[in-house]
Structure 1
């Protein structure tokens, strides 16, 4: 798995509709972080549109330290004319943790194998234009503690310089958990030293994915 990748925004469903020779292609794209989540989304759309002729699908799920899980389904369309083209478009988008479902209502005119490949590819491409994505990155985490009087100012300075604060703990003092790119600890230490006249201590808090 790469140190960073893009995936659809959480808790969002993206939609587009395409009509070709009276057949309607309704495409939905969402985030799926596991194969189970992807299959649940596919099942939910089959339940939502039970009268449709086909519910074709494709998904790509990132797996840490392994190849991504990639699956597709033609759902009754001629083999290779729906799921595979959909998966190819998802691959080309560069997104991971993504599932696409295209619901087809048959319009009475056969499109042929080439026409189906084009229709399903175009449907997913159009829906991808609607997708809002976020970047998920592998980051080093560090904690630093400040007085309540200084915390607000330091937080604003850090955010203004592009630092990502992923956790805040309030006690007698305020502790921020700060995410930085691998190898960027010295830069963080220098920044905090300048902001606190050398008074801040940076403590290692591990490595995690953040977005």
Structure 2
């Protein structure tokens, strides 16, 4: 799997009106197909009186992609909604676009544009972010070296997650794998080889930049 991927940060919704039809775009981060289906059913229950509740979702685990036109002409709703996710490179996300028909037919092309726009504004409201795989690390040092290491870690691209003070100091942090070599060298130089980084795991973290 890739060392980075795009998803959405949080729940988001947005709406617009096209020729008197009201479209509401919803988007939410999900990790499993069950989570996606639960969200879709929640919106279907909320908008039981809507003309259509079109949806699409992409899940990283198993590379799952699903969509539904929910009664709209084939190819005019579900596929355009899924395309918005795929062309943006967004995964682990579900989109529902609800439509209340306003009495004026939009035509095939109009439907494609409307559902694409509904998915896009819903996804943008949920805020697209990049998740990057980082190594989870720790260093243990005495109090005299704590100040130096506390500043070295962020200087070399690490992000401190926790610090524990007992008879010594343990700094827990995460850092991208390609940056670890530079940090190791600087820590070795600063501590005459007395302190070493221990790598305990890896995990995806949100890139806030």
TM-score by length of 2: 0.86
Bigger Cα displacement from structure 2, 124-133 vs 53-62:
124-133
Counterpart residue number, 2:102: 107
Residues 46-73 of structure 1 deviation map (CA, whole Å, 9 limit, x = unaligned): 122222111111111112xx5x211111
Q: CA deviation at 1:181?
A: 2.5
Unpaired runs of at least 5, structure 1: none
d(CA) in 2 for partners of 1:205, 1:198 = 20
* Aligned positions of 1:160-179 closer than 5 A: 160-179=155-174
Total equivalences in the alignment: 206
SS at match of 1:72: strand
1:30 aligned onto 2:23: no
RMSD: 2.2
1:42 aligned residue: 40
Deviation of 1:167 after TM superposition, in Å, equals 4.8
SS at match of 1:80: coil
Preserved contact between residue 152 and residue 187 of structure 2 (Cα < 8 Å): no
Gap runs ≥5 in structure 2: none
TM-score scaled by length of structure 1: 0.86
Using a 3 Å threshold, how does the CA distance of structure 1 residues 114 and 154 change in structure 2: closer, same or farther? same
- The alpha-carbon distance between structure 1 residues 106 and 149, as it changes in their structure 2 partners (threshold 3 A), is farther
For 1:169 and 1:209, how far apart are their aligned partners in 2? 23
1:168, distance to aligned residue in structure 2 (A): 4.3
